[in-house]
Structure 1
Amino acid sequence: MSPDLLRKSTEMASDHLSEVFDLIEVRGVVSGGFAVRGPWVSRAAIEGLKFSAMVGGRARLTAEGVDGSIELEPGDVAILNNRSWLEIEGGDGDGPRREVMPEADFRSARQIGHDRGTDVVVGGHIDLNAAGQALLLQALPPLAHARGSAAAAGNLRGSLHRLFDEVTENRIGSAFAIRQHGQLLLLEVLRTYVDQAELPPGWLRLVTDERLRPALSLMHADPGTPWSLRELARAAAMSRTSFAGRFRTVAGVPPLAYLNRWRMLLAQRALRDGDVRVGSLAAELGYASESSFSTAFKQEVGESPLRYRYRVRDELPAPANTLTT
């Protein structure tokens, strides 16, 4: 295996969540928010992965395809997974509910902020590269609710308030800071949610399973090795039958199918970011020939390795050569 590919696959072998985040290029993008007093409602058509965070106050959130509603309290964050619409309502007092729309410039939040009796909501979406779409969409339920009130959720509450300070105070470098805080907020949401909920089968549940971690570390650290079920089960100190059953229950796929998917994620990054030859990449990832690798890649990704390389590079934005304000 080439030093570069080996380094990338081993440098975070003990931190599988960071490793997967790096591969799928996950980003939490803040898109808008509002602060409001009195009865209110906010409705939006959505797609992909959307998040809504309750900075202050309380509200009730409902969404397409989700039974009932959830109560959002200060510090709570909800992630909507591939839903078509959401509705949030809150506020006290008499009279009809005023419809509010998220503001990209957070104008109302800057004006009334955390004043008493104010409900404050920040929203955004989660960006992923094409390789990450299926992974994260599969790993989360239709509605994931991370509760900021939990004793162990202090980092989540802190991340949310630091983000809100940046979007309202308009300080120098705020755009950069908002991007970084959006990333950290997403990480803390997932950390909090993992601790609070039973995850559906998928890679997010897999990377948190302590019993399977030794086997997962082998596959991630040396994906080019033709690992057998016996070797992986031995690493996890389990029988082959118990290991295979637990792995499939946790990950949603058999161990060797997961190994193939992991190889394909590494291959997509190598094709996207470097100039490695397809034949060399096939050998590094444990395939007997370039043709067997190309066949496996096309089955997983839907196109040949070279076609994938040309397409994703054509889709990359041109580098900026000017500074804008």
Structure 2
Amino acid sequence: MAAPRSSPVPAPGTTLRGDLVAETLELTAVRCTLPRCLTAAGAWALAFPAPGRLTVRAVLRGTVWLSVDGAGQPVRLDADEAAVLVGDRPYTLASDPETSSADAPPPVEGPAGSFLHAGAAGRDTVTLDCCLELDPAAEELLTGALPPVLRLGATTAEAPAVRWLLAQALGELSADRPGASFALGHLAPLLLVQVLRALLAHGGADAHPAGLLRALADERLAPALRLMHADPARPWTLAELARAATMSRTSFAQRFKDLTGVPPLAYLRRRRMRLAQHTLRRTDTPLSAIAASLGYGSDSAFSTAFKRATGLSPRHYREAARSTPEFPARG
């Protein structure tokens, strides 16, 4: 494992030119499982347990009916369409919503992912899917925002990209080309970007107002959020942030909490901890430099705040991240 480089805490507002969603995604560690391919023909229906993770599925050929427990009527997905599942509920895929389902058998594992066939011989229907493993920073973007199932019709801007990304992931591994695992690691964040774009474009966030994603896209809060993101070390006051949003302090604080679930200054503290985690995981920057760059007057003040947020001291957090490649962000 290469030694992390020494660098200051990133200044997201500078490098990403105010794209707050992109800036937040830069701090996440998104991974995706190996792509899974389902082929089917004739009459068929398979019941799947809750995947426990955000799942993206694209239909390459044929028609699939998707039913998610407790989510209303079945959703029809035709070729070139896709769906996003939160992953906390069992679901059924079928050739027809009236077909009786059987439990999905274990898929056949191969070097390019998992393969499963249903119904008669043939490949009238072909779908691809994968699960996205998100660290808490990415989960925070989606908290309360995603409906149980989000359909991406063939005419939406996101569906072709989702389909291409999943097919590209499968193709990378099927061909056993050099660098395939590296490519898969970069395809996962692109999938998440498409999910977020779809959510913002098709109204899911409006139905679930409490969530960071909704706040990042809110024009009234955007000026205040840009200030906090561009200079997280500054001891921003509620009055300054409200003035940037051209709102009264009471109205600003209420709207901010309604959209994010937390008060403005609590959001700022959480933002500082995300930046600290990112820097501790990826660089050798001294703790004193991290503390100063985030507005803490001493190492001890920073360590106390960090441990309160994550359960670990900064030093122990860094050691755990170095010794365990899959060590997650916390807090």
CA apart distance, 1:197:
2.0
- Which has the larger displacement, 138-147 or 308-317? 138-147
Matching of residues 1-325 of structure 1 within 5 Å: 4-8=8-12, 10-45=14-49, 46-64=51-69, 66-83=71-88, 85-90=90-95, 102=107, 104-105=109-110, 118-129=124-135, 131-132=136-137, 134-136=139-141, 138-141=143-146, 143-149=148-154, 151=155, 153-161=156-164, 163-164=166-167, 167=170, 170-171=174-175, 173=177, 175=180, 179-199=185-205, 200=208, 201-316=210-325
- Residues 151-209 of structure 1: CA deviation (Å, up to 9, x unaligned): 4x234324414642663594574836555444433322321222112313111112211
CA apart distance, 1:252:
1.2
CA contact (8 A) 1:219 1:227 kept: yes
- Which has the larger displacement, 182-191 or 85-94? 85-94
CA distance in 1, matches of 2:124, 2:34: 20
Match of 2:143, SS state, is helix
- Residues 264-285 of structure 1: CA deviation (Å, up to 9, x unaligned): 0000011111122223322211
Match of 1:164, SS state, is helix
CA apart distance, 1:298:
1.8
CA contact (8 A) 1:41 1:100 kept: no
Letter of the aligned partner of 2:37 in structure 1? G
C-alpha distance 228-144 of structure 1, shift in aligned 2 (>3 A): farther
- Structure with the higher helix share, 1 or 2: 1
CA distance in 2, matches of 1:8, 1:268: 14
CA distance in 2, matches of 1:240, 1:311: 41
Letter of the aligned partner of 2:271 in structure 1? W
TM-score by length of 1: 0.80
CA contact (8 A) 2:65 2:96 kept: no
Match of 1:123, SS state, is strand
CA contact (8 A) 1:40 1:98 kept: no
- Residues 234-279 of structure 1: CA deviation (Å, up to 9, x unaligned): 1112121121111111111111111111100000011111122223
Higher RCO (CA 8 Å, separation ≥ 6 residues)? 2
C-alpha distance 34-226 of structure 1, shift in aligned 2 (>3 A): same
Letter of the aligned partner of 2:232 in structure 1? P
- Which has the larger displacement, 138-147 or 276-285? 138-147
CA apart distance, 1:138:
1.7
Match of 1:87, SS state, is strand
- Which has the larger displacement, 285-294 or 166-175? 166-175
C-alpha distance 305-40 of structure 1, shift in aligned 2 (>3 A): same
CA apart distance, 1:107:
9.8
Percent of paired sites with the same residue: 34
- Residues 53-77 of structure 1: CA deviation (Å, up to 9, x unaligned): 2233322223455455433333443
Letter of the aligned partner of 1:40 in structure 2? W
- Structure 2: 5+ residue runs without aligned partners? 1-5, 327-331
CA contact (8 A) 2:8 2:290 kept: no
Letter of the aligned partner of 2:76 in structure 1? E
Match of 1:54, SS state, is strand
CA contact (8 A) 1:205 1:250 kept: yes
CA distance in 1, matches of 2:23, 2:34: 23
TM-score by length of 2: 0.79
- Which has the larger displacement, 44-53 or 194-203? 44-53
C-alpha distance 163-148 of structure 1, shift in aligned 2 (>3 A): same
CA contact (8 A) 2:34 2:114 kept: no
